[in-house]
Amino acid sequence: MNLHRVLIYGMGLMGGSLALSLRKKFPDVLITAVVRSEKSKTTILSKDLANEVYLLSEFMKPDWSNYDLVVFSTPVESILQIIPTLPKSGNTIFMDLGSTKETIVSAVEKYYGKETHHYISTHPMCGSEQVGAEAAIPDLYVDKLCILTSPKSASNASLEWVRVFWEAIGSWTMEMDSKSHDETLANLSHLPHVISTILVNVAGANTTTMREVMGISKPITGGGFRDMSRIAGSNPDMWISIFKENKDFLYQSIDDFIHQLTEFRDLLKPDHPFDEGKIRKLWELALLNKEQIRKTK
């Protein structure tokens, strides 16, 4: 594939890991990075994540046509600001790594209208608690799923190019339209992060629990709480941005959760008969759903 010069616009964990993947799979590629801080610039150069690094302030009127591939690896909000400044001609492939798709794809479709373009939105599913280019690893994308979302008027060739690119990096790919992506991710990713965070805050607000927790130097929790709280409170900037972009689907997803949890709570109502059969059915259903979603059967 035609890949000589790549621009990675925003280089944190994801952009930095993509740089390392490129170094491994396409060793001749020249990588340019654009970052906000001098500190990132130093990290990137010392880890050889890019051949040249610009601060945002040094990159105000870029000639995008210098690059075969431009990857936006910044929060969605800033991607939305860049989209209306992109060229309407040339062969550069534009791609983002945004965690939500609907607002990006709408912006791309609004900007390009019926004109054929080369902007493909992608979402590599490889979250991590780590942040920043210093945490970049070359295998972040290997054997992970990358969701491809093609806005209207994107050329088929660019979709195909992006698919081949991610598969060369070592990812699996699947296509999803932007609305399905955001609804699915609300349930499979955004809701779990909310739930984990609320869980530790519920425990934290219970005075008996916290008195006992404080009474011993070892954790009182077993593996269940440990797993369920791992992602709690992580990376607020990223999650605030995701929640903002996916407000409507996440609202619905949380509402569904409250509805199901309220039904469960009511099975335990004081002075109500304990309906073991209903709980058993919920547990059996959960095992089935879990197997289907996690593909463990």
Shortest Cβ 166–a copy of itself spacing (Å): 13
Shortest Cβ 88–a copy of itself spacing (Å): 32
Question: Which segments of the chain does DSSP mark as H helices, in order?
Answer: 13-25, 38-46, 76-82, 102-112, 156-169, 178-185, 191-205, 207-214, 223-229, 236-245, 247-267, 276-294
Measured CA to CA in angstroms, residue 212 lies from 58, 204, 222, 262 at distances of 55, 11, 15, 28
Backbone dihedral region of 90: left (phi > 0), alpha (psi from -120 to 50 degrees) or beta? left
Q: Is 286 in the site for a copy of itself (CB under 8 A)?
A: yes
Q: Is 287 in the site for a copy of itself (CB under 8 A)?
A: yes
Tokens at 42, concatenated? 């130093």
**Residues in contact with a copy of itself, shown as a per-residue x/- string from 235 to 274 under the rule CB under 8 A:** -x--xx--xx--xx-xx-xxxxxx-xxx-xx--xxx---x
**Residues in contact with a copy of itself, shown as a per-residue x/- string from 70 to 89 under the rule CB under 8 A:** --------------------
**Given CA atoms 162, 167, 170, 172 in this order, what sign does their dihedral have?**
positive
Q: Is 103 in the site for a copy of itself (CB under 8 A)?
A: no
Residue among 61, 114, 294, 297 that touches a copy of itself (CB under 8 A): 294
DSSP designation for 134: G
Tell which residue, 34, 106, 104, 27, has the closest CA to residue 63: 34
Which residue type sits at 66?
N
Query: Could you give the CA distance from residue 30 to residue 23 in angstroms, rounded to a whole number?
Result: 9
Helix (H, G, I), strand (E, B) or coil at 151: coil
- Residue closer to a copy of itself by CB (options 55, 240) is 240
Q: Is 37 in the site for a copy of itself (CB under 8 A)?
A: no
- Residue closer to a copy of itself by CB (options 11, 146) is 146
- Residue closer to a copy of itself by CB (options 92, 241) is 241
Stretch that binds a copy of itself, among 5-13, 55-63, 81-89, 140-148 (CB under 8 A): 140-148
Q: Is 205 in the site for a copy of itself (CB under 8 A)?
A: yes
Residue among 60, 115, 219, 297 that touches a copy of itself (CB under 8 A): 219
Q: Is 289 in the site for a copy of itself (CB under 8 A)?
A: yes
- Residue closer to a copy of itself by CB (options 80, 195) is 195
Query: Could you give the CA distance from residue 126 to residue 172 in angstroms, rounded to a whole number?
Result: 12
**Residues in contact with a copy of itself, shown as a per-residue x/- string from 110 to 129 under the rule CB under 8 A:** ---------------xxxx-
Q: Is 132 in the site for a copy of itself (CB under 8 A)?
A: no
